[in-house]
Amino acid sequence: MPTTTRVFNFSAGPAVLPIPVLEQAQRDLVALPAVGMSVMEVSHRSKVFEDLLAGAIAGIRELAGVPSNYRILFLQGGASLQFSMAPMNLLTKGATADYIDTGTWAVKAIEEAKRVGTVNVAGSTKADRYSRIPTQTELRLTPAASYVHITTNNTIEGTEWKTPPDVADVPLVADASSDILSGPIDLSRFGLIYAGAQKNLGPSGVTLVMIREDLLARSDEGLPTMLSYKVQAENNSLYNTPNTFGIYILGLVMQWLKSLGGLSAIARINQRKAAMLYSEIDRTGFYRGTAQKDSRSLMNVTFRLPSEDLEKTFDRQASAAGFDGLKGHRSVGGLRASIYNAFPEEGVAGLVDFMREFERTHG
């Protein structure tokens, strides 16, 4: 057991990490076994770190069944830098990139891509306050676009793509920051996937990038070196000093996922956790889910109460009861329970009990 009492952390990110991972990191912090140095003290060019890096990559490969023609990179700058790197590397001169606008983070990706080249917003659910994911028939895709960009899970609005759109032969590029490795994934449908690590993979400061090898040829030689996927791939993410500690933790998280039974097992757990919360939200009408049912996220459960005053009271009393981080994103208000892979089922059950009691006393 950890030495200090832990609250249930519903934060959208950085977010809760698995206890076995934190305990292992604690044991290794002063000295890795047989190394005599902390992971933070070893050279990124050492055999010790090379093995940690290879282990983290192998962990992802095995869990997600990553095909051999995909490269796995660990970069810095967060998902936000990928908003720029994706178009800088993949948006070919004179061509158009299609973006599907499903929320705040999609908008940010669009804004950055527009700085680089021509963007077509091929679909948007803004008119529905981003409460849903567009249907295939709503999309106006550009034939021969450089790529199509989606946000697989909309962290702020609480929606997710249940299946990626059909984009024919155009590479699909996905910001999967808030649902990466939350269940099985068919990588072959994507040309590029990126995700900040701080929700499902580890601490902040590492960005996972998975890219189909043939797309590396698009990285122009004139790009700033650090912003070139090609250079990063050629150097196995070691062009400069990477976030060694972050990659080490990410490797431990992969081992933890494997010990649970892999991505199918975690998907079942995630389904169960989300179902518990949504069924409580739907039970009486006191709580109101903000996402349309067929678009509901399994990772970020967003809901409202009858008034903003009640929402404030709910958040305050929940925090006092050990349920932390339930305030919705400042841009949309309301409440949000982020229940990523490492969020424990008993915390969800506890929140459901709290919600019932809150409704009984305030409803």
Distance in Å, CB of 101 to ligand PMP, minimum: 13
Q: Is 177 in the site for ligand PMP (CB under 6 A)?
A: yes
Minimum CB distance to ligand PMP smaller for 204 or for 317: 204
Distance between CA atoms of residues 85 and 73, nearest Å: 13
Q: How many CB atoms lie within 10 A of CB 90?
A: 25
x-marked contacts with ligand PMP along 183-202 as a string, rule CB under 6 A = -------------x------
DSSP 281-308: HHHHSSSEESS-GGGB-SSEEEEE-SSH
Q: Name the one range near ligand PMP by CB under 6 A: 51-59, 76-84, 219-227, 261-269.
A: 76-84
Interface residue with ligand PMP among 105, 287, 314, 340 (CB under 6 A) is: 105
Identify the active-site residue in 98, 105, 256, 315.
105
Identify the active-site residue in 98, 101, 161, 175.
175
Helices and strands (DSSP H and E) totals, the chain: 9, 14
Distance in Å, CB of 312 to ligand PMP, minimum: 23
Distance between CA atoms of residues 227 and 70, nearest Å: 18
x-marked contacts with ligand PMP along 4-33 as a string, rule CB under 6 A = --------xx--------------------
175 annotated active-site: yes
37, containing H or E segment: none
DSSP 91-137: --TT-EEEEEE-SHHHHHHHHHHHHHSEEEEEEE-GGGTT-SPPPGG
- Residue among 355, 348, 337 nearest 178 (CA): 337
Interface residue with ligand PMP among 79, 122, 301, 335 (CB under 6 A) is: 79
Q: Is 80 in the site for ligand PMP (CB under 6 A)?
A: yes
Non-local (6+) Cβ contacts of 197 within 8 A are 203, 204, 205, 206, 207, 208, 246, 250
199 annotated active-site: yes
Identify the active-site residue in 98, 179, 199, 327.
199
Q: By CB under 6 A, what part of segment 114-153 binds ligand PMP? A: 151
Query: What are the phi and psi torsion angles at 246 (to 5°)?
Result: -60, -40
93 annotated active-site: no
Q: Is 87 in the site for ligand PMP (CB under 6 A)?
A: no
Active site residues: 105, 175, 199
- Binding residues vs ligand PMP (CB under 6 A): 12-13, 78-80, 105, 151, 155, 175, 177-178, 196
